[in-house]
Amino acid sequence: MAGAETRPTRIWRGIEMEEASVIENESIAGEKGLEGEVEETLIDWKSLWKPMAVIIGLFLIFFWLPIDNSRFAGAVIESLALVKWYAQEHVLLCLVPAFFIAGGIACFVSQAAVMRYLGPAAKKVVAYGVASVSGSILAVCSCTILPLFAGIWKRGAGLGPAIAFLFSGPAINILAIVLTARVLGLEIGIARAVGAVIFSIVIGLIMYLVFRKEEQEKAQAAMMMPEPEVERPLWQNVIYFVTMVGILVSATWGTPAEPVGVWNAIYSVKWPLTGAFAGLLGILLVVWFRVMAFKVVLSGAAVLVLALLFPNEPLIAFSAGIIGLTIMITTTRGETETWFLSTWDFTKQIMPLLFAGVIAAGLVLGRPGSEGLIPSSWVSGLVGGNSLEANLFASVVGAFMYFATLTEVPILQGLLGAGMGKGPALALLLAGPALSLPNMLVIRSVMGTKKTLVFIFLVVVMATISGLIFGHYFA
């Protein structure tokens, strides 16, 4: 019949329907695949938002930068001036020797030895006694102590003793305490000395208690640590570190308040004393560190010639000595290369943060005796009397402001003359030398945000309480 389909036609139509069905199924599968690809985005916002926020934030800051504002322009100049002063007065004389000492601690002092005397399992009297005495002998500022703190912390020192060392270095400064007593009064000088000693131990103990679980785990790990193979006896390491610390302390010996007495006598021979320690270091490099004698002789001769040619510019000879030491230890194979690499690790970790912190501190508060974004009249007006607010404000300002060694005394002398209470003055003396904004940034990079915040909180709170008590009895 005309309307009937033949068998071949039906077969062919069936094949066409099957092909259409396959094509339709493939089309549906393709659409589903495309939908799945759209759901899986290539943008990882978790990793992108932080750098994007920084870039946008910097753009907005630069976009709205108040260049025409005279106070802002002055604050920028102050921050740059503070960085320049910091580079000239502290980097070469304070930080570079401290970096070499920290590198030596990481390289030559065994982790087992550090943990035996300063570790979590060490006797508390020994650990905190060694930490506080070691820190006070150095008599350095809050930034110079940082490489040394990082060195003993990374070698396994307990949190409490490490914090005691960190606080005592800049706070228990015998010269600063004597100057405080002479200029600001005997009672505030004694209160500063007693408060600094108590602070270093109490804050260290509280830090240990707050993070005791971590400290107990560290102590258990120390018990499993094998006795290290020692390349040289302890007494040789002691002589080496005493020599390095001698260079640091003598080179940074500050000008005394009066040109008389023992402090002035030491100051008058600080550079010959530094040279004597440097000569002893040269001998140790030859005898114990296998540095070729001719390298030490050439370096010493260059330093001596520069010292004689430029007697009024000691930084020239000192810089030459640093360059000579670097060349000697990097061209001698063995442990001296490890010493340099450890020193460099501390330098690249700490220096950028210190400079960033100094710039920020100079911008906000200015140099000592100068103006930053925050007017000094606001500061002096908020620290009068002995109220809780005055002591707390003095502690916070002291904690964030950078004080070089001994500079806090003349600053406080001016503030006391402007009406500052004695309680806030002590609070600033206890919080200021031990902390600063650059110091905080580096501490965070060494032991983490949480421990750093707890340490800052303890220093500020204890300084505030001490100021309240002192101001109540000696107003």
* 392 belongs to a structural domain: yes
135-157: average pLDDT = 78
Residue keyed to tokens 């806030």: 424
Query: Any idea which of 4-13, 233-242, 432-441, 463-472 has the lowest mean pLDDT?
Result: 4-13
Q: What angle do CA 144, 146, 150 make, to 5 degrees?
A: 145
Q: Is 90's pLDDT higher than 90?
A: no
Phi/psi of residue 436, nearest 5 degrees: -165, 165
Dig out the tokens for 474 from the structure. Answer: 């000696």
DSSP 8-class letter at 30 = H
* 162 belongs to a structural domain: no
pLDDT, tens digit, 9 for 90 and up, residues 341-360: 999 998 988 888 888 888 88
Q: What percent of the chain has pLDDT over 70?
A: 86
* 198 belongs to a structural domain: no
Query: Which residues have a Cβ under 8 Å from the Cβ of 242 and sit 6 or more positions away?
Result: none
Question: In this structure, which amino acid lies at residue 126?
Answer: V
* 464 belongs to a structural domain: yes
Query: Which residues have a Cβ under 8 Å from the Cβ of 117 and sit 6 or more positions away?
Result: 126, 127, 130
Q: What is the pLDDT of residue 224?
A: 63
Compute the chain's Rg from CA coordinates: 31
pTM comes to: 0.74
Q: What is the pLDDT of residue 1?
A: 46
> Nearest Cα to 440, choosing from 427, 424, 456, 425?
456
* 377 belongs to a structural domain: yes
448-467: average pLDDT = 94
**Cα four-point dihedral sign 399, 400, 406, 412:** negative
Dig out the tokens for 55 from the structure. Answer: 């870039």
DSSP string, 123-190: -HHHHHHHHHHHHHHH---TTTHHHHHHHHHHTT--HHHHHHHHHHHHHS-HHHHHHHHHHH-HHHHH
Q: What is the pLDDT of residue 2?
A: 47
Q: pLDDT tier at 48 (50, 70, 90 boundaries)? A: confident
Query: Which residues have a Cβ under 8 Å from the Cβ of 411 and sit 6 or more positions away?
Result: 368, 369, 403
> Nearest Cα to 228, choosing from 114, 353, 347?
114
CB 95 within 8 A of CB 351: yes
Chain centroid to Cα 472, Å, comes to 34
Counting DSSP H helices and E strands in the chain, the numbers are 23, 0
* Measured distance CA(159)–CA(37) in Å, rounded: 50
Q: Give me the domain span that covers residue 375.
A: 365-473
SS3 state of residue 64: coil
Average pLDDT across the chain, whole number: 83
Give 416 or 324, the one with higher predicted confidence: 324
Chain centroid to Cα 373, Å, comes to 24
Number of domains in the chain: 1
The b-or-e profile of 79-95 (16+ CB within 10 A means b, else e) is beebbeebeeebbbbbb
* 390 belongs to a structural domain: yes
pLDDT, tens digit, 9 for 90 and up, residues 190-216: 898 888 888 888 999 999 999 988 888
* Measured distance CA(468)–CA(66) in Å, rounded: 39
Extended beta strands in 200-260, E state: none
* 458 belongs to a structural domain: yes
* Measured distance CA(443)–CA(462) in Å, rounded: 19
* Measured distance CA(29)–CA(36) in Å, rounded: 10
* 209 belongs to a structural domain: no
pLDDT, tens digit, 9 for 90 and up, residues 310-335: 999 999 999 999 999 999 999 998 88
Dig out the tokens for 393 from the structure. Answer: 């404000």
